[in-house]
Amino acid sequence: MNTMIKPGVVIRRNKRWLVLSLAPVAVFFLVLSGFPVLNLLGLSFFDVEWREGAAEFNYIGLENYHRLFLEETIYWAGVRNTLVFAVTVVTCQMVLGFSMALAVKRAGSVGRTILTGIFLLPIVIPPIVIGTMWRLVMGREFGLANTLLRWFGLNEVDWLGNPDIALASVMFVDIWHWTPFVFLLMLAGLESLDEEVLDAARLDVTGFWQEVRHIVLPLMLPTILITVIFRVILSFKVFDEVYLLTSGGPGTATEVVNFSIYRTFFRQDQVGYGSAMSVVTLFAIALTIILARGVLARRRNAEEAE
């Protein structure tokens, strides 16, 4: 006997199925992501002390935030440096990564294999090795870079010890380290472009630069945006390079947000204050990404409307 099922029932059943199938993932996400963030938020209103072997949670309201916004020095120096770091390294990495991807795309098969291998090398080296390697290169007295400078009769440079250039040195290492990541995504994006569309569009332009500017870049925009978001998020997480190369100094020249939080949580054991720092950082980054996405969405809608 065939039973006819009304469309409304099907929709309800589909919705129920959707809810039931997504629920485990949602719960999983809440437990693994939501709960730690809420816990962090809760802890930021407490001062945690250990007495007689037991933790004492003293509710202090907004005191940690008051301290952070009105008394803190090192964290805000870290915020400033992290912003400079993120903008500079992401810009450089995008330009270099895109250029490298274009070069590889236009190379012959042998050249493409060789170039890809060379370009990808830095990304496969573990961060601890990168830190050690670049310390050996940038060390003032015994570093390879200064040995070469002396060899050419030039003055040596204190790459990591001079507060005016220490951050630039760390940024250089980060650009070297992460440009291959951008290159890889850009190359994947370029490879996925429709050759027929490109061939047709090439009839309307003259020369390589016009082709890149008016055809390739617009077509690559979604890939570029995703890559920028990835890299901005990752550059805000910078820690290992600073930890290994300069430990945040001299002064606050290379202090970054994550290093301040690490020091507060783990070295100083200030759980409440470290939580407040983490919450402010987390919400600032989330807000930045939401705003950026909003601006991009509005621009895209405006372009589509035209």
Interface pick for another protein out of 27, 268, 294, 297 (rule CB under 8 A): 268
Q: Cβ 176 to another protein, closest distance in Å?
A: 21
Select 93 or 278, whichever has its Cβ closest to another protein: 278
Select 37 or 74, whichever has its Cβ closest to another protein: 74
Span of 21-29, 140-148, 174-182, 282-290 interacting with another protein by CB under 8 A = 140-148
Q: How many CA atoms lie within 13 A of 64 on its CB side?
A: 25
Establish if 158 lies at the interface with another protein (CB under 8 A). yes
Span of 120-128, 135-143, 185-193, 288-296 interacting with another protein by CB under 8 A = 135-143
Span of 81-89, 181-189, 261-269, 290-298 interacting with another protein by CB under 8 A = 261-269
Identify the CA nearest to 84 among candidates 181, 176, 178, 167.
167
Q: How far apart are CA 104 and CA 87, in angstroms?
A: 26
In the block, residue with structure tokens 């570093």: 143
Q: How far apart are CA 292 and CA 306, in angstroms?
A: 21
Establish if 127 lies at the interface with another protein (CB under 8 A). no
Identify the CA nearest to 81 among candidates 169, 193, 156.
169
- Taking the alpha carbons of 130, 136, 139, 145 in that order, is the dihedral positive or negative? negative
Span of 109-117, 133-141, 174-182, 191-199 interacting with another protein by CB under 8 A = 133-141
Establish if 247 lies at the interface with another protein (CB under 8 A). yes
Cis peptide before 163 (omega within 30 of 0): no
Span of 23-31, 115-123, 158-166, 225-233 interacting with another protein by CB under 8 A = 158-166
Select 10 or 129, whichever has its Cβ closest to another protein: 129
Establish if 71 lies at the interface with another protein (CB under 8 A). yes
Establish if 306 lies at the interface with another protein (CB under 8 A). no
Establish if 191 lies at the interface with another protein (CB under 8 A). no
Using alpha carbons, list the distances in angstroms from residue 26 to 19, 21, 43, 203: 10, 9, 24, 50
Strand stretches in 52-122, DSSP E: 54-59
Q: How far apart are CA 14 and CA 30, in angstroms?
A: 23
Q: Which residues of 112-140 are buried (b: 16+ CB within 10 A; e: fewer)?
A: eeebbeebeebbeeeeeebbeebbebbbe
Using alpha carbons, list the distances in angstroms from residue 72 to 175, 277, 286: 30, 10, 22
Cis peptide before 126 (omega within 30 of 0): no
Span of 22-30, 31-39, 45-53, 90-98 interacting with another protein by CB under 8 A = 45-53
Interface pick for another protein out of 160, 171, 186, 280 (rule CB under 8 A): 160
Select 71 or 306, whichever has its Cβ closest to another protein: 71
Select 122 or 163, whichever has its Cβ closest to another protein: 163
Interface positions with another protein (CB under 8 A):
50-55, 71, 73-74, 139-142, 158, 160-163, 166, 246-252, 263, 266-270
